[in-house]
Structure 1
């Protein structure tokens, strides 16, 4: 019988993934905190600048809403609403403006039918199904054994791999949104000099969290392939 959930040496891959994700999260938080104390010379807050960017891009139809939390900012493409967190909305800091402008970048992607944004949106329901179904299918396949069981195992591995694919597709979406944001902030001289560099550092730090998530996802998938792969399955 194959027991996939006991502790074995492959857990080191999970631990490495968690460590990388933790370091990336700590780095983005420390970078955000650092530039939260640096305020822009113009004195406009993140909500005002976001409205300016959206209007500049002919996106007057996109509304801005305030939501609770810290770094819970996001763009809702279904409802054409850009939501700014309590920590971002009224802040005049370089960090807050960088984050808000990044979310405006997603609105611009939506306007332009940016292919990777559309692909990521299409992958969301499929990935959710894969995350829910993968482990039960893997477990049933392991119990059944060779033949039909291996077919189920292969299906489970494919479903689990969808999370990694989703993370890979997310990378260009996030990087492109940041590039769009920084381009407008620079072109319109909303941020200048050290302010622009600070916003760039905040967004680069945020991008690292997506890279870390992709690495962690890959390590999880690789571990399951090691455990469930036909040539490496443990039997009694």
Structure 2
């Protein structure tokens, strides 16, 4: 767990460092993140998705519920390699939504279940640990709920990598970036993807920890 925590801290620091670095590198074509997002949506025949500016840093996301591409101010107004990469990536999710990309559909279907289970998960796990010597049932329920969280984390990986691949292909094929800028954009999105990889591994490690407690408790009972 300490290794996972250290890796997570390093990847988060590295992502912010790369984003700051590539935010200082202006695009040769001078387009803003908002303009890139709108053009990518248009070229993919998507006209019902709005591109919005939201507060915060690295708060960029696509919301399939209200069909909005939400870009942080640095990305929305930015005319940098980082802005281009992030804006195109979030539009990659919109393209996934349009073509009914399987992993994204599965991930979206899991959201309502996880929203409910996350409210009680920590309490169920705590009760499970405290009552383990009496009954394994609460911890077994907690492990099952946490397994859903871990599954969600791993399903997120192909969704994120595919969105990045769509983004990189589009900005390259449409001349949004030159060869040098493409390399920077690819590196930025790779570090962003690594945050999801570390999160998934951390979730798996935590799941295995509670599962080992459950199995150990059963053996001793």
TM-score surpassing 0.5? yes
Q: Residue 144 of structure 2: which of 135, 150, 158 is its match?
A: 158
Q: Once the 2 structures are TM-superposed, how far is the Cα of residue 111 of structure 1 from its aligned partner?
A: 0.3
Q: Once the 2 structures are TM-superposed, how far is the Cα of residue 127 of structure 1 from its aligned partner?
A: 2.0
Does 1:199 pair with 2:181? no
Q: Distance in 2 between matches of 1:125 and 1:233?
A: 35
Corresponding residue pairs, total: 221
Structure 2 unaligned regions, length at least 5: none
Deviates more, 1:155-164 or 1:174-183: 155-164
Q: Once the 2 structures are TM-superposed, how far is the Cα of residue 17 of structure 1 from its aligned partner?
A: 2.3
Structure 1 unaligned regions, length at least 5: 1-12
Q: Residue 175 of structure 1: which of 161, 174, 197 is its match?
A: 161
Q: Residue 48 of structure 1: which of 27, 35, 46 is its match?
A: 35
Please give the secondary structure, in 1, of the residue aligned with 2:51.
Answer: strand
Q: Which structure has the larger Rg?
A: 1
Q: CA 1:129/1:16 → structure 2, altered by over 3 Å: closer, same or farther?
A: farther
Q: CA 1:144/1:89 → structure 2, altered by over 3 Å: closer, same or farther?
A: closer
Q: CA 1:89/1:234 → structure 2, altered by over 3 Å: closer, same or farther?
A: farther
Please give the secondary structure, in 2, of the residue aligned with 1:91.
Answer: coil
Kept in 2, the 8 Å contact 1:226–1:232? The answer is: no
Q: Once the 2 structures are TM-superposed, how far is the Cα of residue 150 of structure 1 from its aligned partner?
A: 1.5
Q: Distance in 1 between matches of 2:169 and 2:129?
A: 52
Q: Distance in 1 between matches of 2:175 and 2:201?
A: 36
Kept in 2, the 8 Å contact 1:134–1:157? The answer is: no
Kept in 2, the 8 Å contact 1:20–1:216? The answer is: no
Question: Counting helix residues as a fraction of each chain, which structure ranks higher?
Answer: 2
Q: Once the 2 structures are TM-superposed, how far is the Cα of residue 44 of structure 1 from its aligned partner?
A: 0.9
- RCO higher in 1 or 2 (8 Å CA, sep ≥ 6)? 1
TM-score using structure 1 length = 0.87
1:21 is aligned to 8
CA offset digits 1:122-165 (Å, max 9, x no partner): 11122233333233333444455567x21232111111122111
What's the C-alpha RMSD, in Å, of the aligned pairs?
A: 1.9
